[in-house]
Amino acid sequence: MLQAPSRDYSSVLGLALEKAKNALSSKGIVFSVEEGKGFYDIIVEREYLVAGATALKEAGFDHVVSLTVTDYPKEKKFRLVYHLTSYLDYEIAGAIIGLGVEVPRSDRPSVPSLTQVWRSAEFQEREVYEFFGIEFEGHPDLRPLLLTPPVAELRPLRKDFVVREENIYEGVPKSG
Amino acid sequence: MVEDVRIYGGWKDELGLKVVPSKKIGKDLYEVFIGPQHPGSGHMRITVRLDGDIIVEADPDIGYVHRTMEKLGEIRGWIKPIPLFERMAIHDACNITMPYVLAVEKLMGVEPPLRAKYLRSLLCEINRIGAHLYGFAIFGVFLGHSTMYMWAMGDREVFIELAEALTGARLTHSYPLPGGARRDIPADFPDMARRAVNYMRKRLKEYEKIFLNNPVIRSRLEGVGVISKGLAAELGIVGPNARASGIGYDVRIVEPYDAYPELDFEVPVFREGDALARTMVRVEEIKQSLRIIEQAVEWLEKNPREPIVDKYLYGKYPPLHKKIMESEGRAKLLPISAAMKVPKGRAIGRAETGRGETIYYVESDGGVNPYRVRIVTASARNAIAFKYVLPGHKIMDLPAIYGSLDYFPPESDR
């Protein structure tokens, strides 16, 4: 049985951010930090993604909570963030730190796969592949996960895929 | 392995019906499709490859009940996604929408009053018991123990009725609101809740006799489907499944929300990591949830009633809405909430649902719709376990492992 200790989440999060920053700086990785409500995102350049992931895994961030991708068609980019936390390192357990990269919105966007670093990313990378069409180089088994291949071709979570809603009043005269 | 000619061509059984056989692939390997018309829980398929009756490869094929929650979340305003998202796990409705509400609260900068927090936690725990009992029922079917199915489904009714008395709906309650809750407890609720708690405590002892200590069940669960602590962390397994493998992780403790910091409860952790441990974690969690329900009901009874929405929002209520709140303890939605705008920003909300940690990433561009809602439910994260835990087990162990993981396809497929 685990008795609930009183834990201050913001101090744990601060500690986790320090730990992540130190891990990345010691490997000479350039990054920028963006603050969100309840988490921090560390954005790196594409060439540092795998090295950064390895450094964070060594620092204790042992699994991926969410692979979060947002589409910004105006800025012609995707923002792809691996939200991480730790199970085994009690000091930082539960604190959410994101490791992110900006992917240009080209014909065939691609990023290196981090499945070799975090096994827990495997299914989520497949999900992002089908919903956004972002390819993960080096993924062991890149197939659609939830969708059928013809639906996955539509890249449904991109902003330019608009959900067509049926107009129930279509063809109904306004009066009489 | 004995070569059987029937496996190549199909044959007719005694009734003359054509039987579609399993396909043979490679040398001495059989590919068996389990599902998607699943005998137990719902729609998912596992393609297993067998050497004899040992599973050498398992490929979970999910997505049969995908309902585009993330995309629909982007076009329905800020309030309407609440009744939408609870469709993912209708018997766990308050828990599964809680993280969304928490994320929107973080963006809006509102905080519910303490009474609303207690009400929400109360319903979350009622839901948790309901979800675990539902899991037990399905598990009973998987193991051929139909008494457990009947008992757990029947006892779940007690908690569904409790939720109905609190919210007015049996399953899809749409109870939490950004900055509050929908209804205060009715006058007869505390007695009803105490009776339900006593009833369930009595029933858990009977469950032990007929199910948990049943020698057949024991021999099917003990040492089966072992997930070590390291593997659980590597795969990112969540909830009771992780806690059965020795990982002491519960969102109610790592990032306490609602009334949980005020409540006295324990988080059961087991070290064995097998199917039995996963079952026992759920039994212990039911006991803890009963404790929480007792405490919450006592607090709600003792403390005076107050408006159960955030002070700032309550100030915007027109007189009619205020009257309903004061006389009936019911929060009516404001007309402006249909076109509500939420300040720009990014927030992560998470909660411990019945099956584990569920996380919502909500991004707002200051408009009337969320710009992006990313949902990762507990079952979605547990799906990967099928691929890495099943190999090495006999095909007969598959139902035991599937049932013990408490995997719920609608929640996983979103």
pLDDT of residue B76: 84
**Residue A122 touches chain B, beta carbons under 8 Å:** yes
Q: Are B355 and B285 in contact (CB under 8 A)?
A: no
- Stretch 22-41 of chain A: residues touching chain B, C-beta under 8 Å: 36-39, 41
Residue B7, pLDDT above cutoff 60: no
pLDDT level of residue B6 (50, 70, 90 thresholds): very low
Min Cα separation A38/chain B (Å): 6
B361/A83 Cβ within 8 A:
yes
Two tokens at B372?
Answer: 């992006």
Minimum-distance CB partner of B267 among A2, A7, A41: A2
% of chain B beyond a pLDDT of 70: 92
- Residue B88, pLDDT > 60, answer yes
**Chain B residues within an 8 Å CB radius of A150:** none
Could you tell me the pLDDT band of residue B346, with boundaries at 50, 70 and 90? very high
**Nearest-angstrom CA–CA distance, B374 and A69:** 8
End-to-end alpha carbon distance in chain A = 70
For chain A, say whether B381 makes contact (Cβ under 8 Å).
yes
Confidence grade of residue B53 (pLDDT, cut at 50, 70, 90):
confident
B88 found inside a domain: yes
**Minimal-distance CA residue of chain B relative to A157:** B71
- What average pLDDT does the segment A23-36 reach? 87
Q: Is residue B60 part of a domain?
A: no
Portion of chain A with pLDDT greater than 90, in percent: 30
Asked whether residue B37 is domain-assigned, the answer is: no
Average pLDDT over residues B332-356: 86
- Tell me how close the Cα of B254 comes to any Cα of chain A, in angstroms: 6
Mean pLDDT over residues B108-119, rounded? Answer: 90
Residue B18 confidence (pLDDT): 47
Q: Would residue B12 count as lying in a domain?
A: no
pLDDT on residue B40: 60
Asked whether residue B403 is domain-assigned, the answer is yes
| Distance (Å) from the alpha carbon of A172 to chain B's nearest alpha carbon | 25
For chain B, the domain total comes to 1
Domain annotation covers residue B304: yes
**B106 part of a folded domain:** yes
Return the pLDDT at B26.
61
Report which of residues A56 and B332 the model is more confident about.
Answer: A56
Domain of B215, in residue numbers? 69-413
In a domain, B59, yes or no: no
The nearest CA of chain A is from the CA of B414 a distance in Å of: 9
CA-to-CA separations, B348 to B7, B43, B99, B105, B376, in angstroms, rounded:
52, 29, 8, 10, 11
CATH number, domain with residue B373: 1.10.645.10
A97-108: pLDDT as tens digits: 999 999 998 888
Mean pLDDT of chain A: 86
Q: What is the pTM of this model?
A: 0.88
Residue of B nearest to A128 (CA): B374
- What residue has token string 């398929």? B45
Domains of chain A, first to last: 9-152 (3.30.460.80)
pLDDT band at residue A167 using 50, 70 and 90 as cut-offs = confident
The arithmetic mean of pLDDT across residues B224-244, rounded, is 89
Stretch A137-143: mean pLDDT, rounded? 87
Query: A114 contacts in B (CB within 8 Å)?
Result: none
Does residue B23 register a pLDDT over 80?
Answer: no
Number of other CB atoms surrounding residue B330 within 10 Å = 15
The whole-number pLDDT of residue B12 equals 42
pLDDT in tens, B278-333: 999 999 999 999 999 999 999 998 988 888 888 888 888 888 888 888 787 788 78
Partners of residue A87 in chain B, C-beta under 8 Å? 232-233, 242, 247, 249
| Among the partner residues A5, A36, A124, nearest to B346 by beta-carbon distance | A36
Looking at residue A5, its pLDDT comes to 52
Q: What residues of chain B, 171 to 190, have a C-beta less than 8 Å from chain A?
A: none
* pLDDT of amino acid B374: 92
Average pLDDT of chain B is 85
Nearest residue on chain B to A68, judged by CA atoms? B374
Contacts of A87 (CB under 8 A, 6+ apart): A62, A63, A93, B232, B233, B242, B247, B249
Per residue, the 3-state secondary structure of chain A, as one string, reads CEECCCCCHHHHHHHHHHHHHHHHHHCCCCEEEEEEECEEEEEECHHHHHHHHHHHHHCCCCEEEEEEEEEECCCCEEEEEEEEEECCCHHHECCCEEEEEEEECCCCCEEECCCCCCHHHHHHHHHHHHHHCCEEECCCCCCCCCCCHHHHCCCCCCCCCCCCCCCCCCCCCCCC
C-beta atoms of B380 and A123 within 8 A: yes
The pLDDT of B30-55, averaged and rounded, is 79
Which residue does chain A place closest to B350, by CA atoms? Answer: A38
- Residue B38: per-residue pLDDT: 65
Judged against a pLDDT cut of 70, whether residue A4 lies above it is answered with no
B-chain residues near A146 (CB < 8 A): 62-63, 66, 413-414
Q: What is the DSSP letter of B337?
A: G
Give per-residue pLDDT as tens, B262-277: 888 888 999 888 899 9
Using 50, 70 and 90 to split pLDDT, how confident is the model at B17? Answer: very low
Q: Is the pLDDT of residue B33 over 60?
A: yes
With cut-offs at 50, 70 and 90, classify the pLDDT of residue A128: very high
Test mutation, B361, B364, B382, B386, chain A, max A CBs within 10 A: B361
pLDDT digits (tens, 9 = 90+) for B135-190: 999 899 888 888 999 999 999 999 999 999 999 888 888 899 888 888 888 889 99
Pick from A4, A146, A163: CB nearest B62: A146
Calpha distance B210→B149 (Å, rounded):
12
> Where residue A151 falls among pLDDT bands split at 50, 70, 90?
confident
